Structure 1
């Protein structure tokens, strides 16, 4: 297909519109639940008090604010796909923001700035502290200020809003790829997000992941749980056909979450068994490299080892059990990976997942399956 044909075809799949709405109108839409900012996202979008204050200051001073992007759902409600932190900041300051349980969060207060030092300690409206509350004029300045709203209409291709969400939120933001996936997952299937998130917090899974607190904060443990289900289900053909494992993870996640027949109970049982056995056999050494000269596991968590183990052991967990003999066998097989020449040749610095996995999928099956 020629380039122009591709452009015209894709352009027809995207239907947009644009409005300029006052912040007061957006407050009303939120109050009436006609715009959804997904409170689950708030843990991923981390603005400091100073960043929040700068936004309110900009509105007060008439400094233009970037537009927000929304996607119109079948029920007419707008899903916010970009601008969530800006809207959340305004709603939190004005005492309207709800948490994931539907309860109103405590209204925030502002910090002083170079331009407006008197913003220090100010609230939107606090009846027991009127000197530190905005007056009617200041509240009206904010409520009458305009924000551009770009709307992806419901007639658009169903994947458009997720693609747009990724594009708009992978630029100058602090979000990791998994935090973006989590947001997409909440929009597609909140129950799947909750299920995956809860599995990532299971004690056996956490015990075999010696990763940093920062990595946990950035949802790397959730990403590893997702990788587990993706890696044990993908085919060699799927791996060979992609150059971007991140995109493959997202696509498979959407596939799982959209599948009405996804076996939640069966997949959870498999996950629980695999990580219980790994924890019993090796604990936090399960994904560390084995050094026979030192007769111990060394180093940090190895994503390369994770890939070999979950692609092989995850698919063949029925061959193992909780007996001492089986656990010893499992530990020896994991030790053998670090010494395997295929593993050595395809792991380490400079080896991307897209080049590792075509070698690691068959290697995992060879080591943990019936072919060994």
Structure 2
């Protein structure tokens, strides 16, 4: 790896604002930390500037046409820019509420005195600017620079994945299905939990293809890092990526609103069962009924192997496998029991329906009828087939 060339410069906040207004600042580097500051933290930064307290050095990378990538200092930069654009007020919990006799609490930028507004705009930032980097050098720089302030395991995983692979993880993490889980809240997104779910589902895809347990990964944060490192060097398998998207599409159609069941620990398990449901041609509405049945069962019979595997070391491979085994067995039993009480539709019923419908159903109609007929009682068959034919395109 080549030595990184850089220079340290002094620039005012006005310079930063000008770059931002001209769209010459790029904050969308995938390995960057998510914004996590609350209003108190943001307000304290603004007060620090007003008091003349030096801020830590920002780190930019030169890009094309005199633009910059923000490698480090995203939260400081965006906080300053949002305050200048009157997007938040100085919070009442800030450490300082009066400066030189002026009350600054509860004020936006425009509500400050002209002296204070000018003081902010003329405040000098220290900016380290590095020459254009390749992806590996950029990741190494970010990793090394953040050793002083330890990254979380998921943040380290993002670095190990690299920018190109993070694009795939982001697509999965931003899927509409995720918004219906506990991992789709803004607080969870700020902590990258939606991206962690994406990695967990890719791990399930990987494990499903493994014949040896030694090649499998658990979903502990440390093992997710190891998996991220593997993906970083080999890339996200296209088949696995497509499987996750297809399964999320199915779950999104099945689950119509935010579900109380889909917490961090349960969502990967539900994902694994949804894969089975797709393979068996289970209708989305039937899948949701099974989900209700399963989680009600956990409440009504709390002493079970699934709950035991949740209570301790829940991310370890053996505990994950116990939960997967239990939830899949429940799924199989649920649909097996339903099939036992469902007699095969009498051929005469179908013939009677055909006599009433003087049209030929196309292949789509036939498939839809066949899928539903396996789960109904004979007395309901006639009504079902008529309804399906009415709703489907006819040749």
* Structures share fold, TM-score greater than 0.5: yes
Q: Deviations over 1:188-221 (max 9, x none)?
A: 666862553133346xx54xx6999965775645
Aligned to 1:26: 16
Shift of 1:239: 1.1
Hey, what does 2:222 align to over in structure 1? 244
Which residue, 26, 38, 52 being the options, matches 1:62?
Answer: 52
Structure 1 residue 248: deviation in Å? 4.5
SS at the partner of 1:232? Answer: helix
Q: What is the deviation of 1:169?
A: 6.7
Superposed counterparts of 1:69-80, under 5 Å: 69-72=59-62, 77-80=67-70
Is the 1:72–1:78 contact (alpha carbons within 8 Å) kept by the matching residues of 2? yes
**Residue aligned with 1:149, SS:** strand
RMSD: 5.4
Structure 2 counterpart of 1:118: 102
Structural mapping, 1:213-362, within 5 Å: 220=193, 223-234=196-207, 235=210, 236=213, 237-239=215-217, 244-248=222-226, 250-251=228-229, 267-274=244-251, 276=253, 279=255, 301=263, 303=265, 305-311=266-272, 313-314=274-275, 317-322=278-283, 347-356=309-318, 359-360=321-322
Alpha-carbon shift at residue 87 of structure 1 (Å)? 0.9
C-alpha deviation, 1:154, in angstroms: 0.1
Equivalent pair of 2:57/2:128 in contact (CA under 8 Å): yes
In structure 1, stretches of 5+ residues that fail to align are 1-11, 96-105, 288-300
Change (3 A) 1:262 1:321: closer
Which of 177, 185, 206 is matched with 1:200 structurally? 177
Deviates more, 1:34-43 or 1:56-65: 34-43
Asked if structure 2 preserves the Cα contact closer than 8 Å seen for 1:312 and 1:363, the reply is: no
For the residues of structure 1 that align with 2:21 and 2:228, how far apart are their CA atoms? Answer: 32
Unmatched 5+ stretches in structure 2:
337-395
Q: Provide closer, same or farther for how the CA distance between residues 75 and 60 of structure 1 changes in structure 2, counting only shifts above 3 A.
A: same
User: Which of 146, 160, 165 is the matching residue for 2:140?
Assistant: 160
- The answer to whether the Cα contact below 8 Å between 2:178 and 2:184 also exists between their aligned partners in 1 is no
How many correspondences in the alignment?
315
Counterpart CA distance in 1 for 2:90 and 2:286 is: 62
> Whole-Å Cα distance in 2 between the matches of residues 82 and 46 of structure 1?
14
Cα shift at 1:284: 5.2
Question: Counterparts of 1:66 and 1:217 in 2: how far apart (Å)?
Answer: 22
- Residue 98 of structure 1: aligned partner: none
Alpha carbons 1:59, 1:145 under 8 Å: kept? no
Instruction: Quote the Cα distance in structure 1 between the aligned partners of 2:192 and 2:45.
Output: 27
Offset at residue 90 of structure 1 (A): 1.8
SS in structure 2 of the partner of residue 79 of structure 1? strand
Structure 1's 45 and 33: CA in aligned 2 closer, same or farther, altered over 3 A? Answer: same
The reply to whether residue 15 of structure 1 matches residue 4 of structure 2 is yes
Q: Cα–Cα, structure 1 residues 58 and 34, in superposed 2: closer, same or farther, change >3 Å?
A: same
The alpha-carbon deviation at position 162 of structure 1 amounts to: 5.8
CA distance in 2, matches of 1:144, 1:259: 44
